[in-house]
Amino acid sequence: MTKWGTAIVYGVVTIFLLAALISFFLSLILKWTNVQEPSLTWIIFAGSLLSMFIGGIVAGGKGKERGWLIGGGTSLLFTFIVLVFQFLGLEKAFTIEQWLYHLIFFVAAALGGIVGVNLAASRN
């Protein structure tokens, strides 16, 4: 696997791990408090953006060049995995709202990739 491919896979794995961790903590909040799920909508979105941004940072740091491309590729692979899972598992296509969310995720991961490349360069 090329350097870019490895970096993108590291980024996607990071995104899924962070998403699982955030989901776990939010499920504990929902279980043990009186908070209802609709009141957490923006917190869930912010957690998703943060996961994408950090995944982009990891991918950009591993790739060490063209961070926006590696971060964007990380987001595209993530979107592809989610789309395939939803389409094959749930038999539903993406809605316009989901496409907009994933477009925002693309921007967040690309910006994270840029930051990751610059952080990796500053360490050398």
Where do the domains of the chain lie?
Answer: 3-123
Give the best-scoring range by mean pLDDT among 1-10, 75-84, 89-98: 75-84
CA distances from 38 to 30, 44, 71, 117 (A): 11, 10, 30, 37
pLDDT digits (tens, 9 = 90+) for 26-52: 999 999 999 888 889 999 999 999 999
Of 83 and 123, the one with more pLDDT: 83
pLDDT digits (tens, 9 = 90+) for 93-112: 889 999 999 999 999 999 99
26 within 8 A of 40, measured Cβ to Cβ: yes
69 within 8 A of 113, measured Cβ to Cβ: yes
Q: Tell me, what DSSP letter sits at residue 1?
A: -
